[in-house]
Amino acid sequence: MKKIAILNGPNLDRLGKREPEIYGSATLGDLEKALRAEFGDRASLEFFQSNHEGELIDRIATLADTKFDGIVINGGAFTHTSVALRDALLGAHLPAVEVHISNIYKREEFRHTSLTAPACTAVITGLGLEGYHAAIRFLLRA
């Protein structure tokens, strides 16, 4: 059984409350339940959310050291600003899929650039929470 981590960055703990017109009404807890329901018999899923860059970086290093098989990451705003998060993903040597709930290319221009995307195997943007499902399906086939 593959071990896959789902990492969420800043403000994703506010899903369902923050800008529901962009991010929808489902919470992070709802997403976790849905992913466990779909993949729980095929993958060991670990969920982690932090509003702190260093905690995400530490978690990525731990995932690499404990032989995880892949990462699904929604780095939130750190996607566009964090060279350190990019370096952590590169250094982990794990397949990673970057997920964005909204279509970042239909939003503010500063969101069009992802510093972390080049460190990832794939990027999914604009599929809503379905992007997480697609990312896990991809990693299960990798």
Q: Is residue 132 flagged as an active site residue? A: no
Q: Residue 108 — pLDDT band, cuts 50, 70, 90?
A: confident
Active-site annotation holder among 100, 112, 132, 133: 100
Nearest-angstrom CA–CA distance, 99 and 109: 18
Active-site annotation holder among 23, 80, 132, 133: 23
- For residue range 67-95, list pLDDT tens digits in order: 999 999 999 999 999 999 999 999 999 99
Structural domains of the chain in order of their starting residue, each with its CATH number: 2-141 (3.40.50.9100)
Residue 22 scores a pLDDT above 80: no
Nearest-angstrom CA–CA distance, 32 and 35: 5
Q: Is residue 100 flagged as an active site residue? A: yes
Counts for the chain of helices (H) and strands (E), in that order: 5, 5
- pLDDT value for 54: 98
- In the three-class reduction of DSSP (H, G, I as helix; E, B as strand; rest coil), residue 54 is classed as helix
Calculate ∠ Cα 54-58-62, nearest 5°. 170
pTM (2 d.p.) = 0.94
- Alpha helices (runs of H) in the chain, residue ranges in sequence order: 20-23, 28-39, 53-65, 83-92, 130-141
